[in-house]
Amino acid sequence: MSTPATERDPRRGALVARLGRFLPPDALVTDPVGLRAFETDGLTMHRRLPMVVALPGSRDEVSQILRVCADLEVPVVPRGAGTGLSGGALPLEDGVSLGLSRMNRILEVDVANRCVVAQPGVPNLAISEAVAGYGLYYAPDPSSQIACSIGGNVAENSGGVHCLKYGLTTNNLLGVEIVLMSGEVVRLGGKHADAGHYDLLGLVTGSEGLLGVITEVTVRVLPRPETARALLLGFPSNEAAGACVAAVIAAGIVPAGMEMMDRLAVRAAEAHCHPGYPEDSQALLIVEVDGPEVEVDALVERITALARGEGATSVRASTSEAERQRFWKGRKAAFPAVGRLSPDYYCMDGTIPRGRLPEVLAKIGEMSESCGLAVANVFHAGDGNLHPLILYDASDPEQIERAEAFGADILRLCVQVGGVLTGEHGVGVEKRDLMPEMFSETDLRVQQRLKCAFDPEGRMNPGKVFPTLHRCVEEGRTHVHAGEVRFPDLPRF
């Protein structure tokens, strides 16, 4: 039997020996069976075994691991819970996958300053659970929130159902601690609202593990609204539902969430968990409003009138908390529910100006017919953040190719109508080669110069986000050090 590629690398022996000096034996995974658990993330089309997996339990261990890797010139892929949908945590055969799942403690609940300090491996939902007793919660709520880590949320700038009103991770993040590839520890932001100087915290948010390893996160938590009610609005077409989204926003209403599901997704959710959705509708909107009771009741009436004006065929507003939860149940379970329709699905993530929703949804329907793969649409309509789920069978290589080509065409369409390649799932390996659709060569080189400032040797998650990685020496010298950033010789483009 031939030796697996991960074991052939000449640096492997020295790496394992040096990491084994300070990591406990169960924090170092080297056997092929154990490595298999880390071969992919939520983008399961791509799989690769890492050379080694390291599972540090503290910031100091992260720093030591990075120093060893820098010394041996081994690249590193940070990994949270591995729920990412763009292949950001896809391992490298010649690299270390650095899993943060053991750093899963909430370090501080600071009610007076309305914030929580957590290690990166804490699941998103655990933050809300930790402050629930104080009437507080953490607003960004990805549908994966039981599993995904807060470090992964920062690295992807994750969103969720309630981000329309309360913002994405970046709008709820106060501070981070990151460890650079050199092992150096840098703290950005803190419990205070704004930091002076360059917005390096903004830069780290959404950086997809390319700049450093996030080892601590401070997030803002909010008081739970007094009341929340959800409306279920059924429409005769996707276009009519899209027009209703535009009408609600144009009326100056900011719902807490405004989600859309098309007929296929509604049927799958109904069969999966019976939330009571109107199955005769071609498209469903779930609109939630929250705040003081009188305001919420008035908004429910206004949205009902707007929906009827756009041809809604069914309108129901929740009258109890149990009913509101039931309305959301089908939406929250929509991805697994769609798994009942087809062996595999490929979740896309492009964002468009909301006013273009009707035409883009119609065009996706035409593209689906011409390529012969069905699409279920479940998405954050209020943000214009589309999630077409392309149904395919991964056991057929020809279908994989067709699904990927169809997905790329959807993302090109998003850019053509004035949108962007990703709303919340990141670029990773999935959208890397589409970056030039949106950015010029100069844009990409400037972005890369920022990476070079944090990671001059290009060892932190290489092969992700940038279609071509230029060597940092070509990009000029810029370095971030703890507490300061120096830009001595910015080149002109």
Q: Which residues bind ligand FAD (CB under 6 A)?
A: 41-42, 77-85, 88-89, 100, 120, 142-144, 148-149, 151-153, 155-156, 158-160, 208-209, 213-214, 335, 424-425, 461
Q: How near is the Cβ of 204 to ligand FAD at its closest, in Å?
A: 8
**Least distance (Å) between residue 321 CB and ligand FAD:** 22
Q: Can you tell me the distance from the alpha carbon of 380 to that of 368, in angstroms, rounded to the nearest whole number?
A: 20
- Measured over all CA atoms, what is the biggest interatomic distance in the chain, rounded to whole angstroms? 72
Give the nearer residue to ligand FAD in terms of CB position, either 215 or 237. Answer: 215
CB nearer to ligand FAD: give 148 or 299.
148
100/472 with CB nearer ligand FAD: 100
In the complex, the smallest distance separating the C-beta of residue 426 from ligand FAD, rounded to whole angstroms, is 6
Pairing mode, if any, of strands 96-99 and 76-79? Answer: parallel
**Other C-beta atoms within 10 Å of 451: how many?**
24
Residue number, 423 or 456, with CB nearest to ligand FAD:
423
Please, which residues have CB within 8 angstroms of residue 176's CB and are 6 or more apart in sequence? 154, 187, 188, 189, 201, 204, 214, 216, 217, 218
Among 68, 157, 84, 46, smallest CA distance to 76 is for 68
Q: How far is the CB of 467 from ligand FAD (least distance, A)?
A: 16
Structure tokens at 216: 């601590």
| CA–CA separation, 377 and 163 (whole Å) | 19
Which CB, 75 or 142, lies closer to ligand FAD? Answer: 142
State the Cα–Cα distance between residues 395 and 215, nearest whole angstrom: 38
* Contact call for residues 385 and 260 (beta carbons, < 8 A): no
Question: In what helix (H) or strand (E) does residue 117 lie, and over which residues does it extend?
Answer: strand 115-118
In the bound state with ligand FAD, the residue whose beta carbon lies nearer, of 29 and 214, is 214
- Of the pair 152, 306, the CB lying nearest ligand FAD is at 152
Q: Supply the minimum distance, in Å, between the C-beta of residue 8 and ligand FAD.
A: 24
* Least Cβ distance, residue 74 to ligand FAD (angstroms): 16
What is the spatial distance between Cα 225 and Cα 137, in angstroms, rounded to a whole number? Answer: 10
Smallest gap from Cβ 65 to ligand FAD, in A, equals 13
CB 218 within 8 A of CB 175: yes
